[in-house]
Amino acid sequence: MRKGQQTRNAILDQALAIASRAGLARLTIGTLAERSSLSKSGLFAHFGSKEGLQLAVIQEVRQLYSALVFQPAMQQPPGLPRLRAIVENWLEWTRSAKLPGGCIMTAAAYEFDDFPGPVRELVSQSLRELRKTLARSVRMAVEAGQLREDTDAEQLAFEICALYFGAQLDARLFDDSRAGERALVAFENLIERHAGAPAPAAAAASLARAGAAV
């Protein structure tokens, strides 16, 4: 009962490393068992099916994301500081999670976007939640007077998500280490664009930070 969870965690560690580099489809039970020093059937028993393994990987990613991106950001006061913390943590989270390849969730999203089944459903739901969280943070910033009243929260959340996906590709496919900064600059520009009249100090600070990031 205890040993089981322990090896299961060890397996998932390896699974995340493989899935990050190769994607969920190329994450195979044979190679995962080999790298976990387990027999195929021994490993298999932990997940019941290939799909079960994939779902477990996604769940693990969700948990990791929550611990490294969302929860730390909740320490920040609601509004712009929290939104900014989310975006900054998010853009760095594959590094802090020690994922050798890119973001598993992003890769899975594009891999399963037309492939019906529980994996697609879980990925879809996860990203929907993420968008909702972003939109909520935007709305809080509006309520705090940091963003204009006519700010379209869903639209802004969409654009922030897009920046993340774009940064992922630049970092991985182009081996471009400036991808994160590119996305941050764009994000700050978005914020600036929607910034409200009051809180002049904050807006000026964000301008300075955006300039410094270049």
Residues that bind a second copy (CB under 8 A): 20-23, 25-26, 101-102, 106-107, 109-115, 120, 123-124, 127-128, 152, 155, 158-159, 161-163, 165-170, 172-174, 182-183, 185-186, 189, 192-193, 195, 197-198, 200-201, 203-204, 206-207, 209-212, 214
Query: Nearer to a second copy by C-beta: 89 or 206?
Result: 206
Report what 134 binds from a second copy, DNA, none; CB cut-off 5-8 Å by kind.
none
Q: Which tokens belong to 140?
A: 């809080």
Look up tokens 């993420």; give the residue: 130
- The neighbour count for residue 146, using CB atoms within 10 Å, is 23
Q: Which tokens belong to 105?
A: 């969730």
The contacts of residue 65 (CB under 8 Å, 6+ apart) are 93, 105
Query: Nearer to a second copy by C-beta: 82 or 172?
Result: 172
Q: Residue 119 in contact with residue 24, Cβ under 8 Å?
A: yes
Report what 17 binds from a second copy, DNA, none; CB cut-off 5-8 Å by kind.
none
Q: How far is the CB of 211 from a second copy (least distance, A)?
A: 4
In the complex, which residues of this chain contact DNA (CB under 7 A)?
A: 1-5, 7-8, 28-31, 37-46, 48-51
Look up tokens 């920046």; give the residue: 163
Q: Which tokens belong to 190?
A: 């978005």
Virtual torsion, Cα 128, 129, 132, 134, nearest 10 deg: -110
Q: How far is the CB of 40 from DNA (least distance, A)?
A: 5
Q: How far is the CB of 125 from a second copy (least distance, A)?
A: 10
Angle, helices 153-173 vs 104-112, to 10°: value is 100
Q: How far is the CB of 29 from DNA (least distance, A)?
A: 3
Q: How far is the CB of 145 from a second copy (least distance, A)?
A: 12
Report what 109 binds from a second copy, DNA, none; CB cut-off 5-8 Å by kind.
a second copy
Q: What is the distance, to the nearest Å, from the Cα of residue 9 to the centroid of all Cα atoms in its chain?
A: 21
Report what 136 binds from DNA, a second copy, none; CB cut-off 5-8 Å by kind.
none
Q: Amino acid letter at 164?
A: Y
Query: Nearer to a second copy by C-beta: 38 or 156?
Result: 156
Distance CA 183, CA 163 (A): 5
